[in-house]
Amino acid sequence: MTILSPYAAWLAALESGFVDDAAQRYAVEWLESCYRGVLAEQPATPGVYLWGPVGRGKTWLMDRFFSSLQSADVPARRLHFHHFMQQLHRRLFQLTGIEEPLQVLAQELSAEVQVLCLDELFVSDIGDAMLLGRLLRHLFEQGLVLVTTSNQPPEGLYEDGFNREQFLPAVAAMTECMQVVAVHGEQDHRLHPGRQQQRYWVNEPAALAAVFEQLAGTKKNTEPLMLGNRSIPVLGCSKGMLWCRYADLCEQPLAAQDFIALCDQFEQILLSEVPRLSCNSRQNPIARGTEDGTAQVAAGDRVLPALSRQDDGVRRFIALVDECYDRGIPVYINAAVAMDALYTDGALAFPFRRTLSRLKEMQLARFGEK
């Protein structure tokens, strides 16, 4: 079997029709250097931190890097960042009572893999910020090579977060042990190349019925779906396909792990009655307090960005699209407004830009091809 290095894989993509991009070329050169350093088992091989706007090919480049490692039998792991954090919290709970649990966890992880690839690094929680501040230093001390993608540079992560000084060790560790590469090309590569395939409609409820019949046939089970301990109303369910209303999936108290479980079961998701998600009415600013039980660092009361009453649902919608995108699962949507008008302002405008870009890529026939 021919093993394509990251740079060779990128050149092959150019030959197949990908658009040449100077920012991508610079990024893939650093990934190539990291790849060759890992193969040569060079000590202290720097990882790579790819950051930039949505759609610039960061995830695609990292996935080519990961694929090259797999082909070369290098022990590596590739995870979406929120999956990694869930595994981290679960393992730390199991290590309760152990002295220096983060150091133990870092030793375990570095014994299993040589390279860790994390997609969509984004920190908004003080607990996660404090954990990463300590964990990354331990991982780098163990010699683990980290490759990540993010929409923000290391110094921009958790920028306005309370007790941000607790996260600064993570920023220092990343800038010291990783090559930070801005992928700021002018092209949004999610929009091309490829034949269009409509998976988004505005006020056409019959469209999803036609999609369901085309892909699943006439067999349509409408029994509620159990997701965790919650019963989810279903418009249609067939082998590998689920059809629900937005309110039933995104306005119930579901969490990211529920959408992970959902994508374990289905390969196509249909979502009806998606409303305009922006909302002009705002709740009053809210204040919260938190405290890390280990380090005894009080976060205190502080004012958080104002949220609309719809934003909890929007967060779940973002989590659903993220999980489907990461799995290559197409989402078919009938909405009240055009895609660009779904969420135009509000506290979640920054993360929703990534969601919008991913929905646009889902309008390509190549998306979801196995």
Tell whether the model's pLDDT for residue 286 goes beyond 70.
no
State if pTM tops 0.75.
no
Q: Regarding predicted confidence, which is higher, 65 or 309?
A: 65
Q: Who contacts 362 (Cβ-Cβ below 8 Å, separation ≥6)?
A: 199, 200, 325, 330, 331, 368
Give strand pairing partners of 150.
51
Q: How far apart are CA 62 and CA 78, in angstroms?
A: 9
Vertex 199: Cα angle to 196 and 201 (nearest 5): 115
* pLDDT, mean over the chain: 86
User: What's at 203, amino acid-wise?
Assistant: N
- CA-CA distances (angstroms) from residue 6 to 95, 143, 151, 279? 37, 21, 21, 43
pLDDT tens, position by position, 42-60: 988 999 999 998 778 899 8
Tell whether the model's pLDDT for residue 283 goes beyond 80.
no
Q: How far apart are CA 225 and CA 235, in angstroms?
A: 10
In this structure, how many other beta carbons lie within 10 angstroms of the beta carbon of residue 307?
A: 18
Q: Regarding predicted confidence, which is higher, 279 or 154?
A: 154
Residue range 217-240: average pLDDT? 87
Two structure tokens written together for 32: 């190539």
Tell whether the model's pLDDT for residue 310 goes beyond 70.
no
pLDDT tens, position by position, 16-34: 878 888 999 999 999 999 9
The whole-number pLDDT of residue 343 equals 94
Tell whether the model's pLDDT for residue 206 goes beyond 70.
yes
The whole-number pLDDT of residue 225 equals 93
User: What's at 37, amino acid-wise?
Assistant: G
Two structure tokens written together for 353: 């830009």
Question: Three-state SS string across 242-297, please?
Answer: EEEEHHHHHCCCCCHHHHHHHHHHCCEEEEEEECCCCCCCCCCCCEECCEECCCCE
The whole-number pLDDT of residue 28 equals 96
